[in-house]
Amino acid sequence: GSDGLAAVSSFQPDLILLDVILPDAIGYELYQKIKEVDQNHAYIVFLTSKDNDEDIVKAFSLGANDYIQKPFHNSVFLSRIQVHLKNKKASDQLRKMNEDLESNMQRLNSMAYRDSLTGLFNRRYVEEQMQAKIKQSDRVAMLMCDVDDFKHVNDYYGHEIGDIVLIGIASIMESAGNQICVTRWGGEEFLILIFHKTKEEVFEISETIRRKVESFAFSSAQTPFHCTISIGLVM
């Protein structure tokens, strides 16, 4: 039993033949330990001389894929094993398809709910995903933030520098603390949701963001410049 358990951990087999009576273990107990270390979703077939109904029911109730009694006919035994291996292959393919599908769904959700420039959540995320959390929260603050004279930044320094400014400000906002959801609402506007904070704590967070943005030095053609933001706050 101990050797078999070690082999499962290192080898990660597709199929395991497991006796009920082993020199150092009971097969049913070993089955549970195997499941804890098995990363390959191996099919497990009990192979034993125990033939009473209670043992058969116990094996299947644990989740065993089959229960083969000794003595057995070799060709019948082989055909059942081959069927299980085919099923295991099909199960692996289905699992891989599901994992790929989940990954693709996550990627699509990310594209749907993330702003491509800043990486922040977008307006759609707030409208479709945050409504319930907002309604359930005992205390939530909403901060609408606007970059002052952003048109001047784009016109004077160029849109590429303007994008850098938005990315930098987004980063400052995201680092403002926990229980915060920062979204790019549109253009140079940001919406920040802050949960479970007092009015005084929210005001301090908003002032920290405002001061950090104001003091942050952006650069264009090695010439530093600063931006400011205006914030409207409601609890």
Active-site amino acid positions:
188
Tally Cβ neighbours within 10 Å of residue 119.
13
For residue 195, what are the β-bridge partners? Answer: 140
Query: 13 in helix, strand or coil?
Result: coil
Tally Cβ neighbours within 10 Å of residue 187.
11
Q: Which of 225, 226, 190, 220 is nearest to 206 (CA)?
A: 190
DSSP at 59: H
Q: Please, which residues have CB within 8 angstroms of residue 79's CB and are 6 or more apart in sequence?
A: none
